[in-house]
Amino acid sequence: MNRVACDVAVVGGGPGGLAAAIGARETGARRVVVIERDGHLGGILQQCIHNGFGLSILEKDLTGPEYAHHYVSEALERGVRCFTNAMAIGLSPDRRITAVSPEAGLITIEARAVVLAMGCRERTRGAVWLPGTRPAGIMTAGAAQRFINIDGYLPGRRIVVLGSGDIGMIMARRLHLEGCIVEAVVEYRGTVGGLTRNLVQCIRDFDIPLYLRHTVTAIRGTRRVTGVDISPVDEGGAPDASRSQTLACDTLLLSVGLIPENELSKQAGVQLDEGTGGPIVNESFHTSVPGVFAAGNVLHVYDLVDDVTRCALAAGTSAARFAADYEATGPSTDAAARIVPGAGVRSVVPQRLSAHLPDTVEFHLRASTEGRRRTLELTGRQRGTVYRRRCPVVRASEMVRATVRGIGASGDDELTFRIGENCGEP
Amino acid sequence: MARYDTEVLVVGAGAVGVAVARELCRFRTRVLVADRLNDVGGDASKSNSAIVHTGFDAEPRTLESETVVHANPLFDRLCRDLEIPFIRCGAILVATTEEEEEALPRIMQRAEQNQVFDVEYLTAQRARRLEPALTSARAGLLVPGESIVDPFLLVVAQAENAAQNGVEFLTSCEIERIERSAQTFVVSSTLGEIRARFVVNAAGLRGDVVSHMVGIEDFTVHPRRGQFHVIDRSAPLGIRHIILPVPTKLTKGTLLTPTVHGNWLIGPTAEEMEDRCAHETTADGMEEIVRGAGRLVPGFDPRHVITQYAGLRAVRTPGGYHLRSFARVPGFIELSGIRSTGITASPVVARRALAMLRAAGLETQPDEDFVATRTGIPAFRDLDDVERAALIERDQRYGRIVCRCETVTEAEIVQAVQRTPGARDMDGVKRRVRAGLGRCQGGFCGSRVPRILSELLGVPLERVTRNGLGSELLAGPTRAPGDSP
Ligand SMILES: Cc1cc2nc3c(=O)[nH]c(=O)nc-3n(C[C@H](O)[C@H](O)[C@H](O)COP(=O)(O)OP(=O)(O)OC[C@H]3O[C@@H](n4cnc5c(N)ncnc54)[C@H](O)[C@@H]3O)c2cc1C
Ligand SMILES: Cc1cc2nc3c(=O)[nH]c(=O)nc-3n(C[C@H](O)[C@H](O)[C@H](O)COP(=O)(O)OP(=O)(O)OC[C@H]3O[C@@H](n4cnc5c(N)ncnc54)[C@H](O)[C@@H]3O)c2cc1C
């Protein structure tokens, strides 16, 4: 058995993990270790060969692998020690990680601080209760992306995509460019689930049929998919199978949501937030377990990798501080205040604020409403409104940011974010 | 086309067929098992409630009740010898209304008629002490002997053990015609001609089709579908017993059962079908079982569902177990009507088949070299760290985790493929070592297992299937770089 002791151990070598490792080194942690189960660093970005990465943080338009490469090089230059082909399978509350790899065997890593950066996984057919037969030819959009971009194989030739998340829309375009027929992108809601730029650049620009307020009500075919039935959904969200039509296809790709990957977090006893599916953290990305931090999609699903990198650098910094001085930043359970999602808000990160707040705190929210000209407000029980800003457009699929100054002094133990109609102001 | 010669041909490699094969492999008898699917255990025996029944609630004095009652005690030894996961978890039958409570004495009485004497009354309090989630229970019965098994490994382990003792397995081999000439059956199959002195019909849902081939036409079989949800082991259910509703005249109702792998199942529905391939799940069916589960366990939260499946019970008309031989077709044995209890009954059904074969003239010389045990594939998931380290030391492939949810390593998948009868497709791997059965449902390993299969089977990636020819996973390579669109 291999034993490794370190200051900061990062689980996951995607952009979140890499930035956390870099942040930790820059803050002075000496021994920083990254554990990555894949053969290569870079996480999901390795298979995202389209461009559009890094526009805000690097001011360059890069492909996923290029963006990843930038941070892999930085991490290696800074002397971060990386175990690849190593899967972390255990994490204890006292920050002992068990990992396995074919080369190094069973590895035990004792870390003064841990950063969780395991990313997220895709929701599957079973989770959305798709009725019908169970033939070959049904896979998640991300799995198809891996087959095409990494393995060089097409999942099928005639495609229906269920769900219009970013990966779904990007894959619709990719398959179209590979010469496949994309019969339809089918979306349950009235608007696409992903970014507007992907709607334009992936669907509209290629005249791919988009069925809004529709869903798949049956899968056909016994060995391989031969078609799917799609039906409109009524106001109440119930599909009307009497108005269904059958689309012939050999493949159904699912882009029906992402779930933060928190199996290890649960093992360590980290408290999770039902709204985000990720750990509850404070402004230092500290979870409820002392010395365990979280960064990237494991925390909540980000839209843009640039934000992942930015937040993960901060998480790495906090982890290094904790490693240097165990008391530097208390876990989220020692919080001075809770941040709760109110009307119009599905989730917010961070969910807790510590007693030693910095001057500004950046919050990331998911809205539960959509529309134009809304107002975002943060109010405390005692002090009333602490922050207010107008949002020209709010979409459930696009993260809302709020940079709030000086809440430290508010003295409130509970603050609520709300998104409402434009109130008052001209 | 090939030609095969054997003494006994078993048609169907479900729970019943492999149990017969394993029974026969103790003797120096040539046995061949043929199944139309790409793997053993590919039909009803893979999609059921996975319960080893006691027979407490069976119709008394029937062949079925007698078989089930006698089969249950055989499982401890069988599962120990063949390393099949098996847990004597017990069942609680819960009454949630006054009417249901009044039905309990009748059920108790029936258990006694079936010689199941260890059933106990439970008060609401005791039921809740055993299972705190049963908050709506007014009373209940505890049935200690009800148990759970991995039904697929039950089939695979017996098949492997039979193969080890000389039984031959032909998969993707559909029996299409049976003729009799002199002392032998001449059987046409999709893989060629098979000559056999004895034929055992263990074709389940297609048992009538096979019996018709030898002119026995006094019964039909149709499917009764049962849909299930699988609940993730991370769900905060905590239930350790099989939870049964009080059956009504119409249906046995939705049950909730733990699996030997730590998940739970809820189901099944009971829908009369015509199509023998009607394995689809339906929106109505899925809702029905969630409602049913909610009646047993108030506040049941369906968000932890990871997947669904449906199995087809072979409903025979006229009903009941029929384990028969025929004066006009000597050497032909029919095992039919094994509808809802065949996982449990299979070892006893196999004994009966052996007796009938002997009566029909099969010679049974004990085989000196018979090996009664089979070792399972060591599951990395179930080991402690010292054992894990030792395995990786021995075989590096134990250090490569291919399925993240179920912690399945490459070494386990390789063994699943290399054994006989081995996995030939994704479903075969999944059922033998659980890769792809966890909460991400193959999202991660779905792209890794095909590579391993492709390499071990020596076929290109686009020929790797989900469950046999026609179920290829991929269409083919993408265009080579430089090809014009
Ligand atoms: C198809 C697609 C298109 C996208 N397009 C864009 C875009 O155009 N622009 C943009 O800005 N963003 C885009 N994104 C988002 C961006 O890729 C993510 O925000 C980013 O990759 C998240 O980084 P992460 O490190 O949190 O997670 P990941 O990249 O998923 O990395 C997590 C890593 O952890 C590893 N891991 C997990 N569990 C373990 C374990 N137990 N042991 C060891 N290792 C483990 C994984 O192997 C993985 O390498 C896209 C994402 C996808 C999927
Ligand atoms: C929803 C449901 C729940 C159940 N729950 C339980 C339970 O909890 N406990 C229990 O004990 N039992 C249960 N059962 C019953 C049990 O699953 C069956 O009784 C048992 O699997 C029957 O085994 P078998 O070998 O007869 O049939 P099968 O497993 O169906 O095997 C028959 C085989 O014959 C093959 N075959 C058919 N025709 C041909 C042909 N012409 N040529 C070659 N091969 C052919 C088929 O491919 C198939 O593999 C349940 C069943 C269902 C459907």
Q: Do A106 and B230 touch (CB under 8 A)?
A: no
Pocket of ligand 1 (CB under 6 A): A 11-17, 35-38, 43-45, 48, 52-53, 87-88, 117-119, 142, 145, 166-167, 170, 261, 264, 296-298, 302, 304-306, 308
| pLDDT beyond 80 at A387 | yes
Report the C-alpha gap between A330 and A327 in whole angstroms.
6
Tokens of B151: 């039904």
What digits encode the pLDDT tens for the residues B215-265? 999 999 999 999 999 999 999 999 999 999 999 877 789 999 999 999 999
| pLDDT beyond 60 at B483 | no
Q: Could you tell me which residues come within 8 angstroms of residue A348 by beta carbon, excluding any fewer than 6 positions away?
A: A275, A339, A340, A341, A363, A364, A365, A366, A417
Percentage with pLDDT > 90 across chain B: 94
B86-87 and B147-149 strand pairing: antiparallel
pLDDT of residue A335: 81
pLDDT grade for A425, boundaries at 50, 70 and 90 = very low
Report the C-alpha gap between B413 and B153 in whole angstroms.
14
Residue A41 CA to ligand 1 centre (angstroms): 10
Q: Measuring CA to CA, which residue among A386, A390, A347, A385 is closest to residue A371?
A: A390
Percentage with pLDDT > 90 across chain A: 85
Question: C-alpha dihedral over A364, A368, A369, A373, to 10 degrees?
Answer: -10
What digits encode the pLDDT tens for the residues B294-339? 999 998 999 999 999 999 999 999 999 999 999 999 999 999 999 9
Report the C-alpha gap between B452 and A417 in whole angstroms.
50
Q: CB atoms < 10 A from the CB of A390, how many?
A: 11
pLDDT grade for A424, boundaries at 50, 70 and 90 = very low
pLDDT of residue A423: 56
Contacts of B285 in chain A (CB under 8 A): 131
| pLDDT beyond 60 at A179 | yes
Q: What are phi and psi of B286, to 5 degrees?
A: -65, -35
| Nearest CB to A87 within list B404, B462, B473 | B404
What digits encode the pLDDT tens for the residues A37-81? 999 999 999 999 999 899 999 999 999 999 999 999 999 999 999
Atom number, ligand 2, closest to the C-alpha of residue B68: 11
pLDDT of residue A327: 60
What digits encode the pLDDT tens for the residues B399-434? 999 999 999 999 999 999 999 999 999 999 999 999
Edge-to-edge, what's the strand order for the sheet holding A360-367?
A: A345-349, A360-367, A400-405
Name the superfamily (CATH) of residues B1-84+148-219+318-376: FAD/NAD(P)-binding domain (3.50.50.60)
| pLDDT beyond 80 at A330 | no
Q: CB atoms < 10 A from the CB of A92, how many?
A: 14
pTM: 0.95
Residue B426 CA to ligand 2 centre (angstroms): 20
Q: What is the mean pLDDT of chain A?
A: 93
Contacts of A148 in chain B (CB under 8 A): 478
What digits encode the pLDDT tens for the residues A4-36? 999 999 999 999 999 999 999 999 999 999 999
Asked if A155 is an interface residue toward chain B (Cβ–Cβ < 8 A), one would say: yes
Q: What are phi and psi of B134, to 5 degrees?
A: -85, 65
Contacts of A154 in chain B (CB under 8 A): 474-478
Q: What are phi and psi of B416, to 5 degrees?
A: -60, -35
The domain locations on chain B are 1-84+148-219+318-376, 91-144+222-309, 380-463
| pLDDT beyond 50 at B193 | yes
Fold of B91-144+222-309: D-Amino Acid Oxidase; Chain A, domain 2 (3.30.9)
Q: Measuring CA to CA, which residue among A307, A269, A313 is closest to residue A288?
A: A269
Half-sphere exposure of B16 (CA within 13 A, CB side): 32
pLDDT of residue A53: 94
Q: Do A133 and B279 touch (CB under 8 A)?
A: yes
Asked if A229 is an interface residue toward chain B (Cβ–Cβ < 8 A), one would say: no
| pLDDT beyond 80 at A409 | no
Report the C-alpha gap between B264 and A31 in whole angstroms.
43
pLDDT (average), residues B442-458 = 94
Q: CB atoms < 10 A from the CB of B168, how many?
A: 16
CATH of domain B380-463: 1.10.10
Within B25-97, residue ranges assigned H as helices are 63-71, 75-81
| pLDDT beyond 70 at A126 | yes
B304 is catalytic: no
pLDDT grade for B391, boundaries at 50, 70 and 90 = very high
Asked if A392 is an interface residue toward chain B (Cβ–Cβ < 8 A), one would say: no
Contacts of A87 in chain B (CB under 8 A): 401, 404
pLDDT of residue B143: 98
Asked if A226 is an interface residue toward chain B (Cβ–Cβ < 8 A), one would say: no
Residue B444 CA to ligand 1 centre (angstroms): 13
Is the C-alpha dihedral spanning B140, B144, B145, B150 positive or negative? Answer: positive
Predicted ipTM beyond 0.90:
yes
In this structure, the residue with its CA closest to atom 34 of ligand 1 is A12
Residue B47 CA to ligand 2 centre (angstroms): 8
pLDDT of residue A426: 37
What digits encode the pLDDT tens for the residues B105-139? 999 999 999 999 999 999 999 999 999 999 999 99
Q: What angle do CA A387, A272, B435 make, to 5 degrees?
A: 140
Contact of A97 with A9, CB cutoff 8 Å: yes
Contact of B219 with B312, CB cutoff 8 Å: no
